[in-house]
Amino acid sequence: MKFTSFLLGFAATAIASPISKRAVFSQTTYDDLSISGGTAGNAHVNQIANDAEDEAFNPAIDAASGEAADALQRGKIKNKVLKLTATILKLQAQQAQGEDVADKLAEENKKLQNNISQDKDEAGKASTFLAFDATTS
């Protein structure tokens, strides 16, 4: 349910948005993306993505070298796209409720576009997935 709400909100925002379409997520199944299980009230995608960056990607990148470090960095960038997408969705919801978050929304969107651009620049190269023990429930 939480992910469905997130996905529907993201889709509605993407459809209404005047910016050009950009593929952010790779093709995958709903079951692989779903965070709907567990209990409600604690869907913290942004915080989990932050924790994964700080506790998994950064130490692994620091310990690696060469292509292994580069592949980890590409995975970190993809993680940042997830984190920033969740942040932007939250800010858009706050804005829709009348909160003045325009500056923060512009800042986060700029970061998102930068990370999408970095990901596109590395298209076709391997990126490393890191397992990270965190849940939204």
Sorted by sequence, the CB contacts under 8 Å of residue 87 that are 6+ apart come out as 46, 108
For the question of whether the overall pTM of this predicted structure is more than 0.85, the answer is: no
**4 token code pair:** 């469905």
The answer to whether 24 and 81 have CB atoms below 8 angstroms apart is yes
pLDDT score, position 50: 84
pLDDT value, residue 132? 80
**What residue type is 106 in one-letter code?**
A
Q: What is the pLDDT along the chain (137 residues), one digit of tens a residue?
A: 555 555 555 555 555 555 454 555 566 665 565 555 554 555 567 788 888 899 999 999 999 999 999 999 999 999 999 889 888 988 998 999 999 999 999 999 999 999 999 999 999 999 998 888 877 65
In a domain, 29, yes or no: yes
Does the residue 71 lie in any domain?
A: yes
Asked if the structure places residue 63 within a domain, the reply is yes
Domain range enclosing 96: 2-121
Instruction: Give domain status of residue 48, yes or no.
Output: yes
The per-residue pLDDT for 130 is: 86
Overall domain count for the chain = 1
- Strands (E) across the chain are located at none
| CA distances to 15, 65, 81, 88 from 22, in Å | 12, 31, 12, 15
Q: Are 76 and 61 in contact (CB under 8 A)?
A: yes
Q: Which residues contact 84 (CB under 8 A, 6 or more apart)?
A: 108, 111, 112, 115
Q: Would 127 be classed as within a structural domain? A: no
pLDDT of residue 13: 56
CA–CA distance from 10 to each of 6, 18, 33 (Å)? 6, 14, 14
Residue 134 inside a domain? The answer is no
Residue 114 located in a structural domain? yes
Residue 135 maps to a domain: no
The confidence score (pLDDT) of residue 86 equals: 87
